[in-house]
Chain A
Amino acid sequence: MNQMPSFPDPEAERKRIIKQRNWMLGGLLVGMVVLFYFITIARLGG
């Protein structure tokens, strides 16, 4: 039996995309903090 294709709710889709982007941005910022920490250690070590 063929089923009708279901379209996602635009508002739910918007929230999902923004949530994903926020997680990505947060991850990148944490990554940069960690990177700067290790750069500092590396440069202190000469």
Chain B
Amino acid sequence: MTSVSTPGTAQSAPLPADWRDFFALTKPRVMSLVIFTGLCGLLAAPVPVNPVLGFTAILCIALGAGGSAALNMWWEADIDAQMKRTAARPLPAGRMSRESARDFGLILALISVLIMGVGVGYLAAAILAFSIFYYAVIYTMWLKPRTPQNIVIGGGAGAFPPMIGWIAATGEITLMPVLLFAIIFFWTPPHFWALALFVETDYAKAGIPMMPVVAGQHSTRRQILVYAVLLLPLAMLPFWIAGAGVVYGASALLLSAIFLVLALRVAVFRQGVGETDMGPEKRLFAFSVFYLFALFAALVADRWIMG
């Protein structure tokens, strides 16, 4: 692994990148959500799972997510350097070379798919491999810099973990993992656009065609509402047609209703809120994170309580 010197220091020889920098490449905070949803997919599956194979599946999902995150940071180092939120990452801060990040990402991705294939199953490994390719190549390299629908497409990458967890447990693709995929797919745009509304200037500076930059705030708010409206019946589908019980159904209804009210506040009822006051957007963003944790926790609780 190579390294680069730290800017602003007078060292003659560069210091190697610290292990913490490699850990930061894996986007640990995003990974926590990936691990959680993957674990929920695994635990909600209607079959007993060997603890060792279950642990291996979650480890592989985490390693795959970490690898694709490292590849994302390798590809976007120049963009990250232009945004305040990402400027301190190891590559734009000059603590690591781009080649190190790329090699680290490729190794993690390869190891995760190999262990998943050998240890858990080839179907789960194939979907894990496709999810890494989807995030690192289709989303990061191809569509993110080209279309304001980048977040909609990128949502697909984040939607794979519960599907992989479920398939790792059952070995087959059924309706429920597809619904779990769809829930995260439709949850991502309002979640991320709420964030993009209050960090809009950063994305504009970096030249990323984020929806608020390209289509304007009004259109983005309207689209947030559309996705929030669609999310409510979609979140109910596991209860209506895929066998989830009343614990999940009641939780999904309550959580999705609150999500919808907060989206309405962002899209329609902004009276009394100044143009520069992004309180409703920040509240929607914060709740959207809680929403996903709570919804998937309810799914697992339902499975363990209702059987």
Residues on B with C-beta less than 8 A from A35 are 56, 59, 115, 119
Say yes or no: is A24 at the interface (Cβ < 8 Å to chain B). yes
Q: Is A42 within 8 A of B19, CB to CB?
A: no
- Report the contact-size class of chain B (Cβ under 8 Å from the partner): 10 to 19
Q: Is B18 within 8 A of A17, CB to CB?
A: yes
Interface flags, A23-45, vs B, CB<8A=1, else 0: 01000000010011011011101
Say yes or no: is A5 at the interface (Cβ < 8 Å to chain B). no
Give the dominant DSSP class at A's interface: helix
Q: Is A39 within 8 A of B11, CB to CB?
A: no
- Least Cβ distance of A2 to chain B in Å? 22
Q: Give the number of residues in A that approach B within 8 Å (Cβ atoms).
A: 17
Q: Is B53 within 8 A of A14, CB to CB?
A: no
- Least Cβ distance of A26 to chain B in Å? 12
Q: A35 to B59, alpha carbons, bound, how many Å?
A: 10
Which of B1, B17, B119 is packed against the most chain A CB atoms within 10 Å? B119
Say yes or no: is B47 at the interface (Cβ < 8 Å to chain A). no
Q: Is A42 within 8 A of B13, CB to CB?
A: no
Say yes or no: is B268 at the interface (Cβ < 8 Å to chain A). no
- Least Cβ distance of A32 to chain B in Å? 8
Residues on B with C-beta less than 8 A from A13 are 15
Say yes or no: is B16 at the interface (Cβ < 8 Å to chain A). yes
Say yes or no: is B52 at the interface (Cβ < 8 Å to chain A). yes
- Least Cβ distance of A1 to chain B in Å? 27
Q: Is A14 within 8 A of B15, CB to CB?
A: yes
Q: Is A42 within 8 A of B15, CB to CB?
A: no
Q: A13 to B59, alpha carbons, bound, how many Å?
A: 32
Q: Is A39 within 8 A of B18, CB to CB?
A: no
Q: Which B residue sits closest to A46, measured CB to CB?
A: B50
- Least Cβ distance of A46 to chain B in Å? 9
Q: Is B16 within 8 A of A17, CB to CB?
A: yes
Residues on A with C-beta less than 8 A from B12 are 10
Q: Is A10 within 8 A of B52, CB to CB?
A: no
Q: A32 to B118, alpha carbons, bound, how many Å?
A: 13
Q: A45 to B13, alpha carbons, bound, how many Å?
A: 53
Q: Is A24 within 8 A of B19, CB to CB?
A: yes
Residues on B with C-beta less than 8 A from A14 are 13, 15-16
Residues on A with C-beta less than 8 A from B118 are 39
Q: Is A39 within 8 A of B19, CB to CB?
A: no
Residues on A with C-beta less than 8 A from B115 are 32, 35
Q: Is B18 within 8 A of A10, CB to CB?
A: no
Q: A10 to B11, alpha carbons, bound, how many Å?
A: 7
Q: Is A39 within 8 A of B56, CB to CB?
A: yes
With A35-B59, A35-B115 as contacts: A42 and B53 at CB distance below 8 Å:
yes
Q: A21 to B23, alpha carbons, bound, how many Å?
A: 11
Q: Is A17 within 8 A of B53, CB to CB?
A: no
- Least Cβ distance of B105 to chain A in Å? 16
Nearest 7 Cβ contacts at the A-B interface: A42-B52, A39-B119, A38-B52, A24-B19, A42-B50, A17-B16, A10-B11
Q: List 22 A-B contacts (CB under 8 A).
A: A10-B12, A14-B13, A14-B15, A14-B16, A17-B16, A17-B17, A17-B18, A18-B16, A20-B19, A21-B16, A21-B18, A35-B56, A35-B59, A39-B52, A39-B56, A39-B118, A39-B119, A42-B50, A42-B52, A42-B53, A43-B53, A43-B119
